[in-house]
Amino acid sequence: MQHIMIVTASTGGGHNSAAHYLKQSFEERGIFALPIDMFKATSKASNYVMQEGYHVLAEKAPNLYGTLYKWTNQKQINDAVFSTLFTGTVFRLNYLLDKIEPKLLIATHPFAGKLIGYMKQKGRTNVPLMQIVTDFKPHNSYYHKNIDAYVVASEYSQDALIEMGVDQECIYTYGIPVKKSFYSSFNRKERIFNEDKPLHLLIMGGSMGLSAIGSVIREIIKGKVGHHLILTVVCGRNKELYDDLAKEHQEDIRAGKIRLHGFVDNVDELMESCDLIISKPGGLTASEAILKSIPMIIPFYIPGQEHGNVEFLVEHNMAIEVQDVDQLSSHLKQLVEHPDLYRKMVANMEQLNKTYSIEKIVDLGIQMMDEQEKQDS
């Protein structure tokens, strides 16, 4: 049986989710896929620093995180960081490659592709390497000249990689891998406003459940949208946020005006049942929304990669950025009063999601393995 290795890292939920869904799709085709969390595989200390460091910066010091992200997006600084700080991780990856002997390497985290690219450059492996770009505007960490193929979410992402020096023939706009149920068009909801039915809003903050959700809910409740609303709220793994909201909004929850959830695994069904999503624009969340053609309103984001996602979504008229949460109700009211704006956003998402296919990513991986086998024979 052919086998592959998918290298990820636990900085946010998106990289691991992409790895998980790729594993499922490859194994449905008879190809064993082994996910490796690169920092967990290095040491407990390394994983703690990377995982907790990301969570603390993203939640408690987002402006500092954004500054670091921007600073390391310069090629010379980025190369210097990777050539000095991750020697232990490179050593461990080299050991795993020798032990597992995969026929294909897939990186769902930019650090993974970069470090394996260095290993290929130094002749430590010749295994074909595919990089999954999980944001719409790639950071310089995604680039290495020894990455053999890039899978991106749009031509916008493709153009950014070409500017870095990537050959266009190595870039495939198959989208960020998500759960297979998102790709199905069977019984997909026709997205139109109906004055006789409530406007159903899905409010999310990513797998961590950003605490800014609370201010969003309060603004919507006090605002005058001019339409009956139902709020489905997903708090992710943030138990404290869930408990606070349950206490603060217990009357609306009992009345069915707010449907409160913790971490869920049926986001596809929730998106299908709702009319708009109010969320931070993580790469996977945005891709899921595009596949379900549910327009986004973005009242908060993590500076850095998510700022690039906002730029893409707003520029291509798939989302509305809310600069101040106090403006949220007025944006909702504008969409209710001008449904043509909403329909255009839906149409733009439907146009883009035609190119998205996790099966084509698997096909590409098989093609890369076949080509390497011919070279080796």
pLDDT digits (tens, 9 = 90+) for 243-299: 999 999 999 999 999 999 998 989 999 999 999 999 989 999 999 999 999 999 999
CA-CA distance, 102 to 112, in Å (whole number)?
A: 15
> Which of the pair, 178 or 45, is modelled with greater confidence?
178
The pLDDT of residue 226: 62
Q: Among 18-27, 163-172, 300-309, 317-326, name the one with the lowest average pLDDT.
A: 300-309
What strand order describes the sheet that includes 296-298?
258-261, 229-234, 199-204, 276-278, 296-298, 319-321
Q: What percent of the chain stands above pLDDT 90?
A: 56
Phi, psi of 8 (to 5 degrees): -135, -175
Q: How far is CA 144 from CA 60, 105, 126, 148, 162, in A?
A: 31, 14, 14, 9, 12
Domain ranges of the chain: 3-174+357-376, 182-353
Q: Do residues 28 and 17 lie in contact, with contact meaning Cβ atoms separated by under 8 Å? A: no
CATH of 182-353, one of 2.40.50.100, 3.40.50.2000, 1.20.810.10, 3.40.50.720: 3.40.50.2000
Supply angle C-alpha 69, 71, 76, rounded to 5.
120
- Cα-Cα-Cα-Cα dihedral sign, residues 63, 64, 66, 70: positive
Q: How confident is the model at residue 136 (pLDDT cuts 50, 70, 90)?
A: very high
By three-state DSSP, how is residue 152 classified?
coil
Q: How confident is the model at residue 335 (pLDDT cuts 50, 70, 90)?
A: confident
Are domains 3-174+357-376 and 182-353 of this chain identical in fold? yes
Phi, psi of 154 (to 5 degrees): -170, 170
The pLDDT of residue 212: 80
- Residue carrying the six token digits 């609306």: 252
The pLDDT of residue 197: 80
What strand order describes the sheet that includes 3-8?
32-37, 3-8, 105-107, 129-132, 149-151, 171-172
Question: Which CATH topology does 3-174+357-376 take?
Answer: Rossmann fold (3.40.50)
CA-CA distance, 339 to 35, in Å (whole number)?
A: 44
CA-CA distance, 338 to 332, in Å (whole number)?
A: 10
CA-CA distance, 274 to 346, in Å (whole number)?
A: 13
CA-CA distance, 258 to 261, in Å (whole number)?
A: 10
Residue range 24-61, pLDDT digits in tens? 999 999 999 999 998 888 777 776 666 666 666 667 77
Q: What percent of the chain stands above pLDDT 70?
A: 90
DSSP assignment, residue 373?
H
